Amino acid sequence: MTKQTPPAPHNGPKRDDPREQGPESGVVEKTEIRTKRPSLYKVLLLNDDYTPMEFVVHLLREVFHRTEEEAVRIMLSVHQDGVGVCGVYSFEIAETKVAQVVAAARHSEHPLQCTMEKA
């Protein structure tokens, strides 16, 4: 009868044993953190035949912090082209500005329209 070599001593779980992935396994997992820059949105004013020019200029100054010259230029470009950009903002800021313009216009009973679109 031939003598067999005894099996190698078994110290703990083998590599494909699920226990190998446990906290004592020495496996270090790295979680990759990916950040995305927030999308930007254009706030647009639409032209109409009834809202006074001065009212539009006032809103551009108060809501969009435009100078008198910038406000007049933007208002006139909306008046001529039908639509114009008041500013570009993150989603929440753009949404708030649209709401402020619409609220002020309705309060003063002007039909002015203001919307936003992805820049």
Binding site for ligand TYC (CB under 6 A): 45-49, 51-53, 56, 75, 78-79, 112
Name the residue nearer to ligand TYC (CB basis): 30 or 107: 107
Beta strand 83-90 pairing with 40-46: antiparallel
The closest of 66, 60, 55, 62 to 109, measured between CA atoms, is 55
Q: Which CB sits closer to ligand TYC, 39 or 108?
A: 108
State the minimum distance, in angstroms, from the CB of residue 32 to ligand TYC. 46
Beta strand extents in the chain (DSSP E only): 40-46, 83-90, 113-118
Contact 56, 78 (CB under 8 A): yes
In whole angstroms, how close is the CB of 40 to ligand TYC at the nearest point?
Answer: 21
Q: Least Å distance between CB 92 and ligand TYC?
A: 23
Q: Report, in Å, the least distance between residue 86 CB and ligand TYC.
A: 9
As given in the structure block, the two tokens for residue 6 are 């005894």
- Of residues 43 and 78, the one with the C-beta less far from ligand TYC: 78
Give me the sheet containing 83-90, strands edge to edge. 83-90, 40-46, 113-118
- Cβ proximity to ligand TYC, 20 vs 55, nearer residue: 55
